[in-house]
């Protein structure tokens, strides 16, 4: 089986597992929220410390789902770029450059889509979680499937690419989001 096909299958499995975990986390949080609404809240007394309202929380279940979907899309794009570049007989350098270029466009679109799913005040916190998750899963998949050793250089490239794309996609989403 080719490395690209194996990578795509592995990313599909990871996306599926992430989606299942995300659904389980969302169900668990919905149950906890329903339980909290049903229970009476204690009265605040003069001696109790002031309770600050919670500004918003990151939905980690949704973040895991977005990480899995983005990783799946990136591996499908890598697979297709590999087939197209391989069919033309181009060299490895061309493959790497095309994969980086097209992968960057897909990442920007993915972070844009991901940012649209959260409230405007939480966009950057949420996208940081998604960007870190995508960078980590990319490194793991590349080391398993493509036999690329983990190094500081590969970590730096993954983080720079993910956070640059996060900034562009998040900025566009924040600008058009009401």
Q: Residue 170 has what pLDDT?
A: 95
Three-state secondary structure of the chain: CCHHHHHHHHHHHHHHHHHHHHHHHHHHHHHHHHHHHHCCCCCCCCCCCCCCCCCCCCCHHHHHHHHHHHHHHHHHHHHHHHHHHHHHCCCHHHHHHHHHHHHHHHHHHHHHHHHHCCCHHHHHHHHHHHHHHHHHHHHHHHHHHCCCCCCHHHHHHHHHHHHHHHHHHHHHHHHHCC
pLDDT 10s digits, 141-178 = 888 888 888 899 989 999 999 999 999 999 999 999 87
In which band, very low, low, confident or very high, does the pLDDT at 53 lie, cut at 50, 70 and 90?
A: very low
pLDDT 10s digits, 96-137 = 889 889 999 999 999 999 999 999 989 999 999 999 999 999
pLDDT at 139 over 60: yes
Q: Residue 48 has what pLDDT?
A: 44
């Amino acid at each position: 089986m080719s490395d690209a096909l194996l990578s795509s299958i592995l990313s599909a499995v990871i996306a599926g597992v992430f989606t299942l975990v995300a659904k389980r986390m969302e169900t668990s949080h919905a149950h906890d929220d329903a339980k909290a609404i049903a229970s009476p809240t204690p009265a605040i007394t003069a001696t109790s410390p002031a309770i600050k309202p919670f500004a918003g929380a990151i939905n980690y279940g949704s973040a895991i789902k977005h990480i899995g979907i983005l990783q799946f899309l990136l591996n499908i794009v890598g697979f297709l770029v590999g087939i197209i570049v391989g069919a033309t007989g181009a060299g490895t350098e061309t493959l790497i450059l095309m994969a980086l270029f097209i992968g960057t466009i897909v990442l920007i679109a993915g972070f844009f889509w991901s940012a649209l799913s959260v409230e405007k005040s939480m966009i950057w916190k949420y996208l940081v979680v998604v960007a870190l998750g995508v960078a980590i899963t990319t490194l793991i998949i590349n080391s398993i499937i493509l036999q690329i050793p983990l190094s500081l250089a590969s970590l730096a490239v993954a983080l720079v690419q993910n956070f640059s794309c996060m900034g562009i996609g998040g900025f566009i989403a924040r600008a058009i989001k009401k």
